[in-house]
Structure formats: C-alpha cells, structure tokens
Amino acid sequence: MKIELAPSILSSDFGAIRSQVQEMAAAGVDRIHFDVMDGQFVPPITFGAKMVADLADVGCFLEAHLMTLTPERHFEDFVKAGCKGIMFHVEASSHPFRHLQNLRQMGVQAGIAINPGTPWTMVQELLTVADLVLVMTVNPGWGGQAFISECLGKIRSIRHAAPEVDLEVDGGIDPTTLPLVVDAGANIAVTGSYLMGRPSIAQAVQELRASCG
C-alpha cells in the first residue's frame, strides 16, 4: 500500500511560507495539510481560507483540517480557495452525516476527524458517507506534541470496519511512530514538527518514507 505524506504548514515559518511549501512540493509530498483553528474549538487561532488561496498555485493536493465550531459555515470558502479535501471534527458537529454528504456534493474528499478521547464508534455510522477518517494522535491545537499510543487501537478498529476508507493520522508522526500507525492500518500521515526540525524537508521526507518501507 502506498503511504501518503501530508505535511502540515503549522510548524512552518509563516513569514517564509511560500518557499517552504514549494520545498515540500519539490520533495514529492502527496498533500499539503492546512490546520485551521478558530480559538473556540481549540484555543489557538491560525488562519483562514485566504492562506489556501494564496498558496493554491503550488500544484499539490490541498486539504483543510477544520478545528472549528460550526465547520460547515466554512466549507464553501475552502473549496473556492482550492481545497480538494476537507475534514471537520465529529465533536464539533451535530449533523456530520449531512455535512459529509454536502462535501461530496461539492466535489471534494469528505473527511471526518476524531479526537484521542472520542470512541471510534462516533464515526462508525459515518463510514458510508466519508471518503476519509482523520484520527488525531495528539490532542488538537498544537504542533510538536508527543504521539498518543492509545490511539493505535482506534486506527485498527476503523480500518477493520472500513477497509477502503482513506485513514489519515495526525500528530506526533516521526520515523518511530509512522511504522506503528501504518501497521495499524493508516495510509496517510500528517507530519509537522518532524519535517521542520530536520536539516532539510527533502531529507525528512526521505527518512519518513524509509521508516515504513
């Protein structure tokens, strides 16, 4: 199975964001992951759809991870900005089934995200309308946190229930934890602080790819 890498721009230097995203694309990553935080669902505030629009010309698959309340209010803006995938939190929505249907109708990959403290069965009934499940392997809100290994069971359960769904993991991914999540069934991995902490983005991408064969 091909493992996709999805660098998060959260750990990037926002003052040099264009060149860093270009470096990610040149290193052959599969997606660029935009962490959108509203200061309500999670304490920090990051950026909105304009960030995506301004970087849409880099030519990568762009995805928005909405850590916001009432995420459905933002779908249209992020689709217009150039996102090909949007994921929102099951904990932030009263009507996730309908919102996933709407995302599919808008022609983008429909993703549902789930926090470490939420049982996997919260997304069970959504698996028929979700193209992707984003399993948080840290508590959302900040980059650079330690991987929560208790989440591995959740990844296995979702993979068992939905062999075909795209299963993405987010938080604390490095060459040690990547093989664990891949073994549990993940096929897409977000990576933030590891990527920016290495001498070069290209080297970090190589190290991550080598770690999971």
User: Under the criterion CB under 6 A, does residue 141 sit at the interface with ligand DX5?
Assistant: yes
Segment lying near ligand DX5 (by CB under 6 A), choices 6-14, 53-61, 74-82, 98-106: 6-14
78 close to 71: Cβ distance less than 8 angstroms: no
User: Under the criterion CB under 6 A, does residue 52 sit at the interface with ligand DX5?
Assistant: no
- Concerning whether 170 is annotated as a catalytic residue, the answer is yes
Q: How far is 75 from 168, CA to CA, in rounded Å?
A: 20
- Concerning whether 54 is annotated as a catalytic residue, the answer is no
Binding characters for ligand DX5, 143-162, by CB under 6 A (x = yes):
xxx-----------------
Phi-psi category of residue 50: left, alpha or beta, with phi > 0 → left and psi -120 to 50 → alpha? alpha
Q: Please spell the DSSP secondary structure of 68-104, one letter per residue.
A: SSSGGGGHHHHHHHT-SEEEEEGGG-S-HHHHHHHHH
**Which of 32/108 has CB closer to ligand DX5?**
32
Question: Active site residue: 77, 170, 174, 183, which one?
Answer: 170
Question: Active site residue: 35, 38, 54, 57, which one?
Answer: 35
Task: Show contacts with ligand DX5 in window 91-110 (CB under 6 A).
Answer: none
